[in-house]
Amino acid sequence: MTINFKFESDKRIPPVRSSIWEVIVLPLLDYLSSSRSIDEIIEWSSIRGCSHSMSNNMLAWLSFTGKARYDDFSCRWMWGADNGSLSEVWEGPQPMKT
């Protein structure tokens, strides 16, 4: 007997480099025009019929691309990237600033 640990919802999550993410995240990015707590985002996602897993992946993609970030001080998600966003790190080594 084989146990399949892959959930049905995981099959609908595209690869990170897929261009479909630009379309998928638009409603969430619009929702983040005002900063939002994670509870507000989860509630918004459930009303739209979006799985918790997909919501997390959307936030991760937005964060990775520098379109949105989580602010530790306000505990809210908002537009924009941190100064040292992951997308900068993934482009390779950066020259030292002197």
Give the alpha-carbon dihedral of 7, 12, 18, 23, to 10 degrees: -140
The pLDDT, as a whole number, for residue 58 is 94
Instruction: Please report, in tens digits, the pLDDT of each residue of the chain (98 residues total).
Output: 444 434 444 557 888 889 999 999 999 999 999 999 999 999 999 999 998 889 999 999 999 999 999 999 999 999 987 755 444 444 445 555 65
pLDDT at 1: 41
Structure tokens at 49: 């019929």
Tokens 């937005």, residue located: 62
pLDDT recorded at residue 83: 55
Cα→Cα distances 28→32, 58, 67, 88, Å: 6, 8, 11, 23
Q: For the chain, which domains are there?
A: 18-90 (1.10.10)
